[in-house]
Structure 1
Amino acid sequence: MTHLYGALTSRVLAAISLLWLLSASAAQAAELPDFTEIVAQQSPAVVKIIVEASTSRAGPDVDAEEIPEFLRRYFQMPNPPQGPQERMATGSGFMISEDGYVVTNHHVVEDADLVTVRLSDRREYEAEVVGLDPRSDLALLRIDAEDLPYLVLGEDDALKVGEWVLAIGSPFGLDYSVTAGIVSAKGRSLPTRSRENYVPFLQTDVAINPGNSGGPLFNLKGEVVGVNSQIFTTRAGGSIGLSFAIPVNVVRNVVNQLRDSGTVTRGWLGVTIQNVDRNLGESFGLDRPRGALISQIAGDGPAAQSGLEPGDIIIEFDDEPIETSADLPHVVGLIAPGTEVDVLIVRDRKQKTIEVEVGGLDADDSVDQAYRDGQEDASRGGRLGIVVEEAPEEMLSRWDLSGGVVVRSVEPDSAADEAGLMPGDVITAVGATPVRSLEVFSEIVGELEDGASVPLRLIRRGSPMFIGLRLGD
């Protein structure tokens, strides 16, 4: 009897466990989003971009017949192709109006001789390139067709980290592939090869691969919240879960300008900036490291005309907080030139508001006007641990300086060494005091209090920057 009772008990417990597992699985499935409706409704507006371009491939610099046969076999150079070669490439895009406007990436159609747009029903149209914007990696095309399906641009401000997102595109030429994931981060800074940084990228773990470029990123409402643009990848070229999309507020701004005029104009401030680390933050009197530190100002730019100065730390621009230097170009670039905005700065350890009229940076302006992160008889500055001398006139003239001292050597484990000073640096200011001569520099250093934190403005390999230096007690 006892044995029978134990067997029944075991079966009851097993049944209860099975029911619990089934209910848990059902609850988990209920929490996962259903993408089928979004795919069915929105995929007809997603297109495949087919690009044809000619590339010149030069032949060898020497006559192959003059190379010994065994070397020709070794280097595999029997008959290298000569002259122009045809290049075929594919990407993704999506329609934003019923009269044929199509958005894709700039790098997808760059240098194209012929751009073809293929719809989901396999209709193909030759596309006109309306405008290109390499700074945002966006392009606007148009095809000659009417009554087309199109997508709606959402609001980037409503998108949250951790939210589900969905991508549709043509990875590796596989048309209308669907992948999903979550938003991993917002406002990622990925400077271009020219060191420009105007796009606060969305980071996702959506599987994006070559061919997805230019395709839409959707939220669960079926709205476009981004344009897939870049991936971090392995050497094999596959997705590793780090994908980046251009946020929809940038897309809307750029597309509207390209549609209206074929070009893009951005807000411009005319400053060189650098990040604020712990030492700099302490030396400037900040409660924590934040803001964009102005290390240089263009002489005729909006910043100079408004009264901004090197050494000012911008902590808010047009009511937008500036946590790092990379945030500033993102904010300023979206402001229409000619707009007057309030800029909150820290100067002489006090907060101050300055009104600035934002200038304009056209698509073909020199990169020298764009934002960039900061680059990086002898007398001994004993308290700092450096040997300095007067900056020669040739150096002052070359960098348009009114004075300064050159660091010739740095003592190991000194305050200067810990701050990162290097031989060849030209110190032009200590705190708010300009260094006009070696004598002035010695006087300033002699008056510094023990344990004080002070910012040094210097020129390193031609680039202005600040570093924070802390004296020993």
Structure 2
Amino acid sequence: MRPLPTLLALTLAAGFGGSAAVGLRDVFDQPAQANEPAAAVPLAAAALPAAVNGSPVPSLAPMLQQVTPAVVSVYSRHTVRVASPLGPFGNDPVLRRIFGIPDMPRERVERALGSGVIIDAKNGYVLTNHHVVENADGVSVSLSDGRTVEAEFIGSDPDTDVAVIRIKADKLTAIPLADSDSLKVGDFVVAVGNPYGLGQTVTSGIVSAVGRSGIPVAGFQNFIQTDASINPGNSGGPLLNLQGQLVGINTASFNPSGSMAGNIGLGFAIPINLAANIKDQLVSVGEVRRGTLGIETQDVDERLAKALGLEQPRGALVTRVYPKSAAEAAGVQSGDVVLSANGQRVDNAAALHNFEGLQGVGARVSLELRREGKPLTLAATLKEQARSVDGGTLDPRLTGATFRELDEGTRAQLRGGVLVAEVKAGSRAYINGLRPGDVLIAGSNGEFGDLPAFRSSFGKAPQQLVFQVFRNGDTGRLLMR
């Protein structure tokens, strides 16, 4: 079978700061060669004026002296097994001895570099990006004073790219949190991190946009866009306002020519209000619980817009309302078109899905709809989205299997489906061929793009149950008996 494609491949070469910063370091490892001057000529130190025309010269230095001790470098380690270039016999000690083949290392340690920010000095909580610590066997943190300590992994949320780690050290400094909802386009911001492993680096700029989504990176998006330089190694570091308060967590830069082509002023950060909410859930319950409307939707094209009496082809057309869902309780009906949610414009089904993914359980949502061409506003209280379901409760042929939602990266690549999370050995589902890690992308039970739709598709048990399954890069069919 072909290897599984990289799930988070960025088709337009968005540069993630969590990647290992080795390119420039290799260059800098070679000391510059210079001829020694014949005689040293002492130069007078040029001092900047403290004021110009009686006005103090503005400087970020006083603010940075307060906040940079809270910015850390994050190093993650991941051990991978190395395949022998001599094939399956390369690790046979007898054959190696006969043919004089030297021992070869069977494992290697891959390292990734990112940044982080201390937000709770008492408990040692550090915010960083999920992609910085993903699949790590160990994580260490370097403090601004030179100390290096091992970190404890608390939890992460791949769908928002937020991770929480904890360090045990004294004399820690934390950065106070701002209200990122009050951030305005044009506000000055400062990014701090460890780009390319060069050491703590400060860049500055303005807020270029807020509420940005549709960026070619996976996950639920509500990014702050900034022209402050964000480069590989900056991921997980802070985006600050001029008061030294944390407004966001830097996560990605974007360059159509590739991340090594240099910064072009398109950097993105996770708003701290969102990141702090994710952190609180990870610390308190170890997972993130999201609210859901409980509907299925599709895009509105020109043909549908004309039939629905819309001025332009936009919005999310409701095609199914799940029983006992928040949408049903609010009065949403199939055929309604969602045009905005809490005042945020909804252009298509993906925009509404992204909005839902950023809401918590119990969130109140005001929906602006069009029903039979007439405007309508409804209020919904979001219910918790089920994270997993026991297959035996859906159909006896699935007994022994547990199904879960896909992460947003996999969903984006496969355009929907459900994950087979667990399969008990010897169970009916196991005998039928289901294995952990399979992704069900279609079935004779009806259409489904996510876990709620999958559950709903078993309202009437199909006489024959056949799934289209994605496994290890290949797609096949399985008949459930």
Q: TM-score, normalised by structure 1?
A: 0.63
Higher mean C-alpha displacement, 268-277 vs 122-131: 268-277
| 1:141-163 CA-partner distances (Å, limit 9, x unpaired) | 11113442101111122111122
Are 1:121 and 2:145 an aligned pair? yes
Give me the whole-angstrom Cα distance separating, in 1, the residues matched to 2:200 and 2:111. 19
The alpha-carbon distance between structure 1 residues 219 and 279, as it changes in their structure 2 partners (threshold 3 A), is farther
Q: Which fold has the larger relative contact order, with Cα–Cα distance below 8 Å and residues 6 or more apart in sequence?
A: 2
Residue in 2 that maps onto 1:177: 201
Residue identity matched to 1:159? L
The alpha-carbon distance between structure 1 residues 186 and 282, as it changes in their structure 2 partners (threshold 3 A), is farther
SS at match of 2:243: coil
Give me the whole-angstrom Cα distance separating, in 2, the residues matched to 1:32 and 1:286. 56
Conserved 8 A contact 1:226-1:246: yes
Aligned-residue offset at 1:297: 4.5
1:204 to 218, 226, 239: 226
The alpha-carbon distance between structure 1 residues 33 and 371, as it changes in their structure 2 partners (threshold 3 A), is farther
1:227 to 226, 243, 249: 249
Give me the whole-angstrom Cα distance separating, in 2, the residues matched to 1:209 and 1:283. 47
Conserved 8 A contact 1:270-1:371: no
Are 1:367 and 2:406 an aligned pair? yes
Residue in 2 that maps onto 1:46: 71
Conserved 8 A contact 2:361-2:384: yes
Give me the whole-angstrom Cα distance separating, in 2, the residues matched to 1:294 and 1:44. 50
Are 1:164 and 2:203 an aligned pair? no
Give me the whole-angstrom Cα distance separating, in 2, the residues matched to 1:113 and 1:368. 21
Give me the whole-angstrom Cα distance separating, in 1, the residues matched to 2:386 and 2:267. 28
Are 1:84 and 2:107 an aligned pair? yes
Aligned-residue offset at 1:175: 1.6
The alpha-carbon distance between structure 1 residues 114 and 372, as it changes in their structure 2 partners (threshold 3 A), is closer
2:373 to 349, 361, 386: 349
The alpha-carbon distance between structure 1 residues 33 and 247, as it changes in their structure 2 partners (threshold 3 A), is farther
Residue identity matched to 2:405? S
Higher helix share: 1
The alpha-carbon distance between structure 1 residues 97 and 375, as it changes in their structure 2 partners (threshold 3 A), is closer
Residue in 2 that maps onto 1:332: 356
Structure 1 spans left out of the alignment, 5+ residues: 1-25, 66-77, 377-396, 402-460, 462-473
Aligned-residue offset at 1:368: 8.8
Q: TM-score, normalised by structure 2?
A: 0.62
Give me the whole-angstrom Cα distance separating, in 2, the residues matched to 1:345 and 1:80. 68
Give me the whole-angstrom Cα distance separating, in 2, the residues matched to 1:145 and 1:329. 41
Give me the whole-angstrom Cα distance separating, in 2, the residues matched to 1:296 and 1:38. 53
Residue in 2 that maps onto 1:110: 134
Residue identity matched to 2:83? A
Length, aligned pairs only? 341
Conserved 8 A contact 2:80-2:110: yes
Give me the whole-angstrom Cα distance separating, in 2, the residues matched to 1:226 and 1:149. 17
Conserved 8 A contact 1:126-1:143: yes
SS at match of 1:178: strand
Aligned-residue offset at 1:223: 1.2
The alpha-carbon distance between structure 1 residues 357 and 37, as it changes in their structure 2 partners (threshold 3 A), is same
SS at match of 2:149: strand
SS at match of 2:284: helix
Residue in 1 that maps onto 2:316: 292
Aligned-residue offset at 1:217: 0.4
Residue in 1 that maps onto 2:297: 273
Residue in 2 that maps onto 1:434: none
| 1:329-361 CA-partner distances (Å, limit 9, x unpaired) | 454334332445443311100122334331223
Residue in 2 that maps onto 1:96: 119
SS at match of 2:385: strand
Residue in 1 that maps onto 2:345: 322
| 1:15-48 CA-partner distances (Å, limit 9, x unpaired) | xxxxxxxxxxx79xx8996322221111011011
Give me the whole-angstrom Cα distance separating, in 2, the residues matched to 1:304 and 1:61. 61
Residue in 1 that maps onto 2:84: 59
Are 1:145 and 2:169 an aligned pair? yes
Aligned-residue offset at 1:246: 0.7
Conserved 8 A contact 2:229-2:263: yes
Equivalent positions of 1:17-28 (< 5 A) are none
Aligned-residue offset at 1:302: 3.6
Two-structure CA RMSD over aligned residues (Å)? 3.7
Residue in 1 that maps onto 2:327: 303
Residue in 2 that maps onto 1:261: 285
Higher mean C-alpha displacement, 332-341 vs 230-239: 332-341
Give me the whole-angstrom Cα distance separating, in 1, the residues matched to 2:56 and 2:162. 35
Give me the whole-angstrom Cα distance separating, in 2, the residues matched to 1:190 and 1:80. 49
Aligned-residue offset at 1:264: 0.8
Give me the whole-angstrom Cα distance separating, in 2, the residues matched to 1:208 and 1:181. 11
| 1:124-155 CA-partner distances (Å, limit 9, x unpaired) | 22111111111110111111134421011111
Give me the whole-angstrom Cα distance separating, in 2, the residues matched to 1:359 and 1:344. 19
Aligned-residue offset at 1:271: 3.0
The alpha-carbon distance between structure 1 residues 275 and 154, as it changes in their structure 2 partners (threshold 3 A), is farther
Give me the whole-angstrom Cα distance separating, in 1, the residues matched to 2:238 and 2:321. 38
Conserved 8 A contact 1:269-1:302: yes
SS at match of 2:378: strand
Give me the whole-angstrom Cα distance separating, in 2, the residues matched to 1:60 and 1:374. 32
Conserved 8 A contact 2:339-2:345: yes
Aligned-residue offset at 1:375: 7.3
Give me the whole-angstrom Cα distance separating, in 1, the residues matched to 2:339 and 2:259. 42
The alpha-carbon distance between structure 1 residues 367 and 236, as it changes in their structure 2 partners (threshold 3 A), is closer
Residue identity matched to 2:63? I
The alpha-carbon distance between structure 1 residues 187 and 355, as it changes in their structure 2 partners (threshold 3 A), is closer
Give me the whole-angstrom Cα distance separating, in 1, the residues matched to 2:267 and 2:317. 30
| 1:100-146 CA-partner distances (Å, limit 9, x unpaired) | 11000011111111111111101122111111111110111111134
The alpha-carbon distance between structure 1 residues 172 and 263, as it changes in their structure 2 partners (threshold 3 A), is same
